[in-house]
Chain A
Amino acid sequence: MHHQGISLDVLLDIYTCVLRIRRFEEEVSRLFRQGQLPGFVHLYIGEEAVAAGVCATLTDEDTIISTHRGHGHVIAKGGDIKRMMAELFGKASGYNKGKGGSMHIADFDIGMLGAIGIVGGGIPIAVGAGLSAWYQDSERVSVCFFGDGAANEGSFHESLNLASALNLPVVFVCENNQYGEFTPAARAMNICDIADRAAGYGIPGLVADGADALEMYRVARTAAQRARDGDGPTLIEAKTHRRGSHAEGEEAFLAGQTYRSEEELAAAWAKDPLLLLHTYIGEQNLLPAEQLETLDADITQSVREAVDAARNSPDPKVESVFEDLWV
């Protein structure tokens, strides 16, 4: 890990983002286990550095598209954890007024064009956001997050080719956490690096260490600049690992079966993105330890407030079923 070419301000932003995602997700995990959240919940713990590094290179005008594992992307793009938490509870004060839930959070005001529960469903839409940036002569970049599993959907292949053929400002970020649900990527494809697929579409394919937020930042900055310069799309593959369940409560699906070894999980924990960054900052004496502690306390407090606010906010009114229909 190194921070060459990264200002202290940016470094602090990235660290704050990784930490905020972690604390938010830890709380969501607790809430789910206590039976307080309806529906399915997929957590981003272990993958925080990807969203944090990538989104730190983006402006408010730039757009992102997310997946079923989307809370981290919302936070990294500058989303409001209060509104997100309320949405997870299905409350009227949530981002989507209770109509979306964990897998569908969006904040169009900050260029977060939505999380999508259909694997690979967001990739073509990101191409469209890139198309409009080109059409409008904007410097805007369209970023698309998706998993290793999604890279086996037709939508991935069609979208990369379309973006390449039209030379659009799109950055495809594949979060290769090595599993699609319970199936290892190694059984779902016969290549080691998904980034290799970029060559088939005539665009650059870069592999990055998804546990290293600073590396993610540098790689994403290169890809975003290329897009802004009118040089077309890039595929970034972030090697990462999810720490927890595919979906919270996966024990119920597994019914005693296992799909990851203890050693594998331990190795993943050893490359914890939050710990790596925290250790690096300490070793390099970049920021005072007290500042990091205060930051953690503040974030933890804000997550707690988000939970309280969500709990105390009303259920959506039944009549709202018929709101937000045809304009």
Chain B
Amino acid sequence: MPRKTYVAAIQEALSEEMRRDPRVFLIGEDVRIGVFPSTRGLHAEFGDKRVIDTPISELAVAGAGIGAAVTGLRPVVDLMFGTFLYLAFDQIANQAGAMRYMYGGQTKVPLVFMAQNGAGSSAGHHHSQAVHQFFMNMPQIKVILPSTPGDGKGLLKSAIRDDNPVLFLHSLSLGGKRGDVPAEEYLIPIGLADVKRAGGDVTICAAGPTVYTALDAADALAAEGIEAEVIDLRSLSPWDKQAVLDSVAKTGRFVAVDESFPTCSAASEWAATVAAEAFHHLRAPVQRVTNKDVPMPFSPTLEKAVLPSAEDVIAAVRRTLA
């Protein structure tokens, strides 16, 4: 199978879908040159009409995407950094997610918002936040956070074909990571988890870069004979509850690893669900491993200390075994 980088896989998903469906177009700041390589080269193939550079106006661009979506197009709106979604919050929270329901099912909003999620490049608080948890909290917005090139491509293609608003989050820190990407056409359904490592002693649930944190922890634990199962959720809303519950039924232990602020994090939701619905299988209290509860500091030393680490995960697993 061909091996490609994460950004190349995302670029491929965009170009394939734009070729397939003339209603699909890309709009955002500097998408022509491509601040992130994921949009690079698309302008050369698709031209001004389908790769639209905009002024720095996130609210207007997000809203324009919604307007285009309800009038027959299938926009991909690139908002660059996840933190810039805050500027477009009204259009996403009040409009995109609620529209179909609020208008009694008269319309649909086939739209993808794209943004980079999370920290890891010492860019300071304004460019280093994971934002997925805010959007998980909103009804009727789908949220995707892939960890591998193959998952990224298959999920982005599904997102573009989905008739609902989807937030596709990608990760700067994974941009250069290589992985298998099937040569033939394929889709990965939104809402389906993937077991990245099988094991019977403890279930570790993660998404995006924390999947690698979890896998590192699992490798270290394996050396001591503890076999962790690492579930990559890939989609955060809707999320594959059944995959997690099935795994916990087998392991009886649960650790949620999530790069967000701890309160109301994605991990909070996963842990609460497991505690409520797999209570009788649990042999230890559920554990959450998240960011420290502070804004993201700039210094590499401090940034590292704030993010969830493999050591944090190992410690959490030990707590479930104590």
B188 to chain A, nearest CB (A): 28
When distances are taken between beta carbons in the complex, the residues of chain A under 8 Å from B58 are 153
| A183/B299 in contact, CB under 8 A | no
Binds B, one of A26-34, A111-119, A261-269, A304-312: A111-119
Contact of A101 among B32, B40, B124 (CB under 8 A): B124
Contact (A101, B122) CB under 8 Å given A118-B87, A322-B294? yes
Give the chain B neighbours of A46 by CB distance below 8 A.
none
Q: Could you tell me the distance in whole angstroms from the C-beta of B34 to the nearest C-beta in chain A?
A: 7
Chain B residue contacts of A100, Cβ below 8 A: 124-125, 298
Roughly how many angstroms separate A119 CA and B30 CA in the complex, as a whole number?
14
Query: Separation in Å of the B197 CB from the closest CB of chain A?
Result: 29
Q: Are A259 and B57 in contact (CB under 8 A)?
A: no
**In the complex, A298 has a CB within 8 A of chain B:** no
Would A253 and B34 be within 8 Å (CB), given that A38-B300, A119-B56, A181-B29 are in contact? yes
B84 within 8 A of A: yes
B294/A103 in contact, CB under 8 A: no
Within the assembled complex, what's the spacing in Å between the Cα atoms of A117 and B59?
A: 17
Asked if A315 contacts B121 (CB within 8 A), the reply is no
User: Is B216 positioned at the interface, with any CB of A under 8 Å from its CB?
Assistant: no
CB neighbours (8 Å) of B55 from chain A are: 149, 152, 180, 183, 188-189
- Interface range on chain A (Cβ under 8 Å from partner): 35 or more
A321 contacts the other chain (CB 8 A) = yes
Q: Which residue of B lies closest to A98 (CB)?
A: B299
- A39-B123, A96-B298 given; A188·B305 CB < 8 A: no
Q: A152-B56, A257-B33 are in contact. Are A103 and B299 (CB under 8 A)?
A: no
Q: How long is the Cα–Cα vector from A253 to B38 in the complex, in angstroms?
A: 11
**In whole angstroms, what is the CA distance A318 to B309 when docked?**
14
Residues on A with beta carbons closer than 8 Å to the beta carbon of B121: 39-40
Identify which of residues 107-143 in chain A touch chain B, using a CB-to-CB cut-off of 8 Å: 116-121
Complex CA distance for A99 and B32, rounded to whole angstroms: 33
In the bound complex, do residue B126 and residue A38 qualify as a contact, i.e. CB atoms below 8 Å apart? no
Give 1 or 0 for each of B271-303: 1 = CB within 8 Å of chain A CB.
000000000000000000000101101111110
Determine which of A90, A121, A189, A318 lies in contact with B126 in the assembled complex, contact meaning CB atoms within 8 Å.
A121
With A and B bound together, what is the CA distance between A181 and B84 in angstroms?
15
Q: Which residues of A contact B17 (CB under 8 A)?
A: none
Known contacts A98-B299, A322-B292; is-contact A153 B87 (Cβ 8 Å)? yes
* Complex interface residues of chain A between 3 and 55 (CB less than 8 A to chain B): 38-40
CB of B294 within 8 A of CB of A321, answer yes
Judge whether A83 is part of the interface by a CB distance below 8 angstroms: no
Residue A214, interface by CB 8 Å: no
- Number of B residues with CB within 8 Å of any CB on chain A: 37
A121 to B124, CA, bound (A): 15
How far does the Cβ of A295 sit from chain B's closest Cβ, in whole Å?
32
Q: Which residue of A lies closest to B53 (CB)?
A: A183
Closest to B304 in A: A318
Q: Does A223 contact B (CB under 8 A)?
A: no
Chain A 160-190, CB-CB to B under 8 Å as 1, else 0, gives: 0000000000000000000011110001110
From the candidates B35, B53, B294, name the one contacting A187 in the complex (CB within 8 A). B53
Would you call A180 and B56 a contact (CB within 8 A)? yes
Determine the distance from Cα of A99 to Cα of B128 in the docked complex, in whole angstroms: 12
Chain B residues within an 8 Å CB radius of A254? 33
- Report the Cα distance A99→B292, complex, angstroms: 14
Q: Is B74 an interface residue (CB 8 A)?
A: no
* A98-B299, A100-B124, A101-B298 given; A153·B56 CB < 8 A: yes
Residue ID in chain B nearest A121 by CB atoms: B126
What chain A residues lie within 8 Å of B124 (beta carbons)? 39, 100-104, 117
- Whether A259 contacts B54 in the complex (CB less than 8 A), given A90-B299, A100-B298, A118-B126, comes out as no
Contacts of B131 in A (CB 8 A): none
Binary B-proximity of A230-258 (CB < 8 A = 1, otherwise 0): 00000000000000000000000111010
- 27 A–B pairs (Cβ distance < 8 Å), ordered by A: A38-B298, A40-B123, A87-B298, A90-B300, A90-B301, A96-B298, A101-B123, A103-B123, A103-B126, A117-B125, A118-B83, A118-B84, A121-B126, A153-B57, A153-B87, A154-B60, A181-B30, A188-B53, A188-B55, A257-B40, A315-B299, A316-B301, A318-B302, A321-B294, A321-B297, A321-B302, A322-B294
Binding site for B on A (CB under 8 A): 38-40, 87, 90-91, 96, 98-104, 116-121, 149-150, 152-154, 180-183, 187-189, 253-255, 257, 259, 315-316, 318, 320-322, 325
Other A-B pairs, 14, CB within 8 Å; known A98-B299, A99-B302, A103-B123: A39-B123, A39-B124, A40-B121, A90-B122, A90-B302, A98-B298, A104-B124, A181-B33, A182-B32, A183-B29, A183-B55, A188-B54, A316-B297, A318-B301
